[in-house]
Amino acid sequence: GEDVEQSLFLSVREGDSSVINCTYTDSSSTYLYWYKQEPGAGLQLLTYIFSNMDMKQDQRLTVLLNKKDKHLSLRIADTQTGDSAIYFCAEIDGGYNKLIFGAGTRLAVHP
Amino acid sequence: DGGITQSPKYLFRKEGQNVTLSCEQNLNHDAMYWYRQDPGQGLRLIYYSQIVNDFQKGDIAEGYSVSREKKESFPLTVTSAQKNPTAFYLCASSIDFSADRLDQPQHFGDGTRLSIL
């Protein structure tokens, strides 16, 4: 079945770049998503990328997609303390009827 | 402002008790979803509904029930058959299930944290 894997924890210094990685298994996924979850809150859609793209940039966020390796990454430039949260990678399953989420990467930003 | 409202924010369940979590949306979305989130795990799908008066089981439906009598509402009941209900429950909605709308995916509520007394 489909599976999405992420490392569980990342710590960066304020002002540095953060790179959160994700691997997925469903090669038919047409869209891949990044969500952000702040403590005690729901998930907020950050960005998404269509499978015919290699890269998408949106202000401080850059998404890279390597379809051959089924690898997705989210780069946050100039990371701030407000970026501290859990970041989830998600793919659409082949039947388009649900999102498959990774376990989430907890990003900690320290001074 | 349009959005998804979940209530209550915190809920406590006694042994043998059923409890119902509310989810209301005013986004005019056809599809609604319930997820369970446990620490260190991703979101797991409990139930989803593509349209009023219809719903399907997700990956972990045992011990849960839902109804979809109105487009705006998708309540989740955690029954006494669910032996490990302590978790964070998230409701979401999306415009529809069509492959043409995948650039407008799910919007989430702020969650309900359920604990056992």
B contact test, residue of A4, A97, A105 with most B CBs within 10 A: A97
B contact test, residue of A49, A52, A101 with most B CBs within 10 A: A101
Q: Tell me whether residues A45 and B99 touch, CB distance under 8 A.
A: no
Of A43, A50, A103, the CB nearest to B40: A103
pLDDT tens column, A29-66: 678 999 999 988 899 999 999 888 899 999 999 999 99
φ, ψ of residue A43 in degrees (nearest 5):
-95, 140
CA A110, CA A85: separation in Å to the nearest integer? Answer: 12
> Which contiguous run of DSSP H or E holds residue A61?
strand A61-66
- Nearest CA among A33, A67, A74 for reference residue A51: A67
Q: How far is CA A7 from the centre of its chain?
A: 11
Q: Tell me whether residues B99 and A48 touch, CB distance under 8 A.
A: no
pLDDT tens column, B10-58: 999 888 899 999 999 999 999 999 999 998 778 999 999 989 999 999 9
Helices (H), A33-82: none
Q: Which residues of B touch A28 (CB under 8 A)?
A: none
Q: Tell me whether residues A33 and B105 touch, CB distance under 8 A.
A: yes
Residue A1 pLDDT greater than 60, yes or no:
no
Of A31, A45, A101, the CB nearest to B43: A101
Q: Tell me whether residues A102 and B42 touch, CB distance under 8 A.
A: yes
Q: State which of A1-10, B14-23, B66-75, B90-99 shows the largest mean pLDDT.
A: B66-75
CA A35, CA A39: separation in Å to the nearest integer? Answer: 13
Give pLDDT, residue B42: 82
Across chain B, mean pLDDT equals 90
CB atoms within 10 A of CB B94: 22
Residue B78 pLDDT greater than 80, yes or no:
yes
Across chain A, mean pLDDT equals 90
Query: By the 8 A CB rule, do B105 and A45 touch?
Result: yes
The SS3 of residue A81 is helix
- Nearest CA among A43, A60, A49, A65 for reference residue A109: A60
Instruction: Please state whether beta strands B107-108 and B87-94 pair in parallel, antiparallel, or not at all (unpaired).
Output: antiparallel
Residue B99 pLDDT greater than 60, yes or no:
no
